[in-house]
Amino acid sequence: VVVGVLDPDRHVAGRGVRHLRQAGIEIVTDILEDHEIESVDPAYFHHRRTGLPFLTVKAAATLDGQTAASDGTSQWITGEEARRDAHMLRSTVDAVMVGAGTVRTDDPRLNVRIPGYEGPQPKPVIVLGSQPIPATARIWERDPIVIAAGPADVRGTVIEAAGMDGGIDLSIGMARLAEMGYLDVLVEGGARLAGSLWKAGLVNRGILYLGGRVAGGIGIGHFKSVFETLTDATSVQISDVRMVGDDVRIEWRV
């Protein structure tokens, strides 16, 4: 039996290997590096070590780094092929998460819309703010999970994640998501939510689509927070760069 890597779950790690060896079965290990094996299912390994889901922040931006204009408009920065690739990305995750502002502005369904696709749909997750979400929003049709600071009179499953400041503690919310079985989560919007997750140290991967457009001014960036000095920047590993139609897709990991 070839074992790629031991399960990091402390409840089972090494138990299967011991049973096999006791039965006289030869075990072969160390064929590949651990990270090569874990890349097959990074969310599982991340969750077993941290209790948190593996978070990917996805955004589309102009070449000068603007994800939307100052009036909030962003459709469409990238072309059709990049948007199709983003839907394929949705098909690989357990849940797609947005902030309430994105629901009010874009009225998304957060599902996979590819002709002929018959696979599983990701669970929609909304991080609720202080402003209400319209009862007519299409997202309610998909029985979303709503992360709120306290009890919320909304359709769907509510996760209460109260922070010390009266707001939402995203770390609590993410841990509850993982407990419910949502280990691979794609964050699609917006800059405020992405900035809060980044500041909390919860982001593990980023996928950025750069469209062939130059904004020529300051609109809305990828993360809504203050970048005061270069030493505040975090070094990440750029793991993949490719053309998708006329746009560039960049993948990075913390």
| pLDDT tens digits, one per residue of 187-243 | 997 888 999 999 999 999 999 999 888 877 887 777 877 777 888 888 999 999 999
DSSP 168: B
Cβ distance 140 to 156 under 8 Å? yes
> Can you give the pLDDT at residue 129?
82
> Can you give the pLDDT at residue 166?
82
> Can you give the pLDDT at residue 171?
95
CA 56, CA 226: separation in Å to the nearest integer?
21
**Backbone CA torsion sign across 222, 84, 125, 172:** negative
Structure tokens at 218: 């300051």
Residues 6+ apart with CB under 8 A from 244: 81, 82, 85, 209
> Can you give the pLDDT at residue 67?
81
Cβ distance 211 to 78 under 8 Å? yes
Cβ distance 246 to 76 under 8 Å? no
Residues of the chain predicted below pLDDT 70: 73
φ/ψ of 204, rounded to 5, equals -110, -30
Helix, strand or coil, per DSSP, at residue 203 = coil
CA 83, CA 251: separation in Å to the nearest integer?
15
Host H or E run for residue 210: strand 205-210
